[in-house]
Structure 1
Amino acid sequence: MTETTASAQPQDLAGKGAVITGSSRGIGAATAALIAARGAGVVVNYRAKAPRANKVVKGIEEAGGKAVAVGADLTEDSGAQALVDAAVQNFGSLDLLILNASGGMEADRGEDYALKLNRDAQVNMVKAAIQAMPAGSQIVFVTSHQAHFINQTATMDAYEPVARSKRAGEDALREMVPVLDDKGVTLTIVSGDMIEGTITATLLDRAEPGAIEARRAAAGKLYTVEGFAAEIAALVNKPGLEQAHTELVGGAGDFLQN
């Protein structure tokens, strides 16, 4: 958790309400802290582990920020609406939605879970959110180079179903751009390479030993959780972003060559 106090940061998000899905740990938690430090009230979303989410909220509050933990499974119909309602009820509005939650490598969640979470749940979350978001709001979809470029560049066998489902989610959100334009809501895509210390990277390295080292060698360096979260946060409320802008964090040299 960042030790930077909210008062030391520009308060460009003061008075705004934010939802960050999958924010009880990792990239989502680090991003939540950065967004809260800029004045936003943040809904910290978790699926099952409330103590972990409460710890994130406590860290934000101790740094002078505002946050609330809300349990919601995005693959269930009621999950998205619960997060929207929490932002409006606790912070007065929903102005920022960061779609960070993803998965699909869980062995106990069913064969179609990746598509349900990485495509269907993302679309449902956006549909619920834009009913409450005022013009000028922003939606940020977090993905990976392995998913963003899956139609051009093969990825590890263990990750391919997840990558394809995340690309399907990205495509589905891009198809919603006319609706977002009508609402005055901007979509931003943030794509990064494998991130050191994440659950996905750990599972991939377990399934295919050496996977992390191979990506590190190909990319030159891999971002840490905190470093990637800072890149996501830097795109929030950034002036001049075009609709559906795609930010390739750290570049994507070997992907772009294919």
Structure 2
Amino acid sequence: MGLLDNKTAIVTGSSRGIGAEVAKILAGEGAAVVVNYRQKAPRANKVVGEIQAAGGRAVAVGADLTTQEGVQALASAAMEEFGSLNVLVLNASGGMESGMEEDYALKLNRDAQINMLNAAVPLMPEGSRVVFVTSHQAHFVETVPTMPEYEPVARSKRAGEDALRELLPNLSDKGISLVVVSGDMIEGTVTATLLDRSNPGAIEARRAEAGKLYSVEEFAAEVAKMATADVESGHTEYVGGADYFGKSA
């Protein structure tokens, strides 16, 4: 018996990296998983194939979460494919990509998170869980300076977290809990690669400060754990290196 037997999970931004690993872990716990991608259908299909090969259930859904159509398509897919929605992992984020409009980070990291939650909540029964994935650099951005290259993204992700926390009373009325997972820089992620490109040595410096940086797989395991962890709504789970930032913030 898995912890998520007969449950359905949506994992946003799950065609690669942390999201893909979270999707696989949740499927291993028995959940039917909606794997979300923006453009990379082959990657998402590969994740679905791996889940199905291991005996799990999953479907890939292309959806741009900065559009209302994308948000609705993703929420609807859970009900149409699997008949329920019990876990929503808000993992998709970005803003360091080149060639995006100026306010893209805020659109994705704040507005899309709220829109996705609002689309999902009417479908989620009492006892459901929402997990928002962020970074220490974003979570603590008001008190601990981050790298200039990352600051707009960090501030947009903090704005997203704040906006989600404002919905805690509404969620509580429906019996839905929200947990925030804040992680240090993660080895091998797109963000870390882009940061290191614009600020060579940044990852090495952070690794030296923290003593260790989590791998994608290690961090994903911590995120997935929070889908079923017995913690209060509004809880922040710190993963690695948070002492440097001062956890009280």
- State TM-score, norm by structure 2: 0.98
CA drift at 1:79: 1.1
Segments of structure 1 that go 5 or more residues without pairing to the other structure are: 1-9
Q: Is 1:249 equivalent to 2:249 in the alignment?
A: no
Moved over 2 A (4+): none
Q: Is 1:35 equivalent to 2:26 in the alignment?
A: yes
Q: Percent identity?
A: 66
Range 229-238 or range 133-142, more displaced: 229-238
Match of 1:4 in 2: none
Counterpart secondary structure, 1:165: helix
Q: After superposition, what is the alpha-carbon deviation per residue over 1:1-21, rounded to whole angstroms, capped at 9, x for unaligned?
A: xxxxxxxxx411011111000
Match of 1:3 in 2: none
Distance in 2 between the 1:224 and 1:132 partners? 33
Counterpart secondary structure, 2:225: helix
| Aligned residues of 1:15 and 1:91 also touching (Cα < 8 A) | no
| Equivalent position amino acid for 2:56 in 1 | G
Q: CA RMSD in A?
A: 1.0
Distance in 2 between the 1:128 and 1:103 partners? 21
Segments of structure 2 that go 5 or more residues without pairing to the other structure are: none
Counterpart secondary structure, 1:130: helix
| Equivalent position amino acid for 1:255 in 2 | F
CA drift at 1:235: 1.4
Q: After superposition, what is the alpha-carbon deviation per residue over 1:171-224, rounded to whole angstroms, capped at 9, x for unaligned?
A: 000000111011110000000000000000000000000010011011110000
Match of 1:17 in 2: 8
CA drift at 1:113: 0.1
What is the correspondence of 1:181-220 to structure 2 with a 5 Å cutoff? 181-220=172-211
| Equivalent position amino acid for 1:224 in 2 | S
Aligned length: 248
Match of 1:102 in 2: 93
CA drift at 1:104: 0.3
| Equivalent position amino acid for 1:150 in 2 | V
Q: Is 1:68 equivalent to 2:59 in the alignment?
A: yes
Q: Could you tell me which of 114, 120, 133 is aligned with 2:124?
A: 133
Q: After superposition, what is the alpha-carbon deviation per residue over 1:102-146, rounded to whole angstroms, capped at 9, x for unaligned?
A: 000111111100000000000000000001000100000000000
Counterpart secondary structure, 1:19: strand
| Equivalent position amino acid for 1:229 in 2 | A
CA drift at 1:251: 4.2
| Equivalent position amino acid for 2:113 in 1 | Q
CA drift at 1:237: 1.2
Distance in 1 between the 2:134 and 2:48 partners? 24
